[in-house]
A and B are shown apart, each in its own frame.
Chain A
Amino acid sequence: MSFILTAVLVLGLTGLVLGLVLYAVSRRFKVEEDPRVGQILELLPAANCGGCGFPGCAAFAEACVKQESMDGLKCSVCKSEVMHQIAAIAGHSVELGAEKVAVVRCNGSCANRPNLRVYDGAPSCAAAALMNGGATGCFYGCLGCGDCVKVCKFDAIKMDPETGLPVVDQDKCTACGACVKACPRMIIELRSKNKLDRRVYVSCVNKDKGPVAKKACDVACIGCGKCVKACPFEAITLENNLAYIDFEKCRLCRKCVDECPQHSILAVNFPPKRVAEPAPENQVEQQTEQ
């Protein structure tokens, strides 16, 4: 009986002594952490996507508390109300721009831009871009190996097997910008979401002269400049044989879409044209009021 008692006593005492040591050490070497960091961290998505430019959500939370203002701090995944909450915890005020979404600016599907060659190297757009111009005649368009799909942490971008082009799921996309960085051809751009997710954009990045671009792809921008003239808001610029629509100036009037002889300007999420004829006018007004 006594040996059980000895064992209990010895172990109990050892435990007690070690516990005291641990307590003393933890008091002595205590790391002061701002409780706000923890609170902010709970609000963050914990995806560690890096879209904010910090190594992870914890680093972002710490930066929110440490920095004087919220300038340059934006979690692309969080909705605006969450960002306001975070700012409130950190004791700053925050002004948020328009919400954004990733847009693939290439419409060179298999039908519009047929394959002329076979690329059978490493299945990576970056490797294909290093090798040569890719399998089609266009030296600017999508290579179709899916580097953007691989880097998306939110499962928001997928390859369409029919067109061979990536498709962004606008509900899942958080505009973290990972795909923008991954694309070696700089095709993907973050554009403002607008009301009802409506967007008008030039779905081409081909900087070649008109005839060369046209030969490579049926829907390539040929830099004719018709859209520039048609735009009543001076939102379209033409540089290096390529039109670009500034989404901050664009009022979604869609005049350029009808003008484009190459059909390279796309308008998405608009209701069908015939029904919507009067609607765009209202749309413009609403946008202006905002």
Chain B
Amino acid sequence: MSEQAKNNQKMVIKLLVIVVGMFGFGFALVPLYDVFCDLTGINGKTANSAAVYTPIEIDESRTISVEFITRTNTGMPWEFRAETTRVKVHPGELSTVNFYVRNPANKQIVAQAIPSVSPGVAALYLNKTECFCFNQQPLLAGEEASMPMQFYVDPQLPDDISFFTVQYTLFDVTGKGDKLAVKENPYLREQPESGI
């Protein structure tokens, strides 16, 4: 019987390893999911670090129109709009769109912009060389800023995509997270005379 008990114990340990492994796998699904999204474009997530623009041949035979949608989430009082809501670009061509923000509240608010691209596949071919969404953006009461987003569309963009939509949603992340690199918003506009 003790032989039996030993065997049982060995087997239990092996099975517990599987259990612990699968518990870990549940959490591993989080980064795996991001990898999966990067590969397939699920949800139109874009990269959250800057791409490097190497001058490439501009494909003038195609024109892609890119549409911008701006939204603020619940509890986020900022004014937020794209200064250009639609641009037409050739694949490979670098272009810049500015986004206007203003904090009407009487306190500092830190914002995080979350991009989403539709159709999701297009996200894989949208290369942002500079974006306000890479960092958290602080604004003091009454401050306003014009935040740039510079991008180019990869010429590999599938032929059946002639336009896509990029949405930015601003979230209030004041006091949360550690991504806030700067005290002052780098894209600040000059303070309006009136102040607060």
Decide whether A and B assemble into one complex. Answer: no
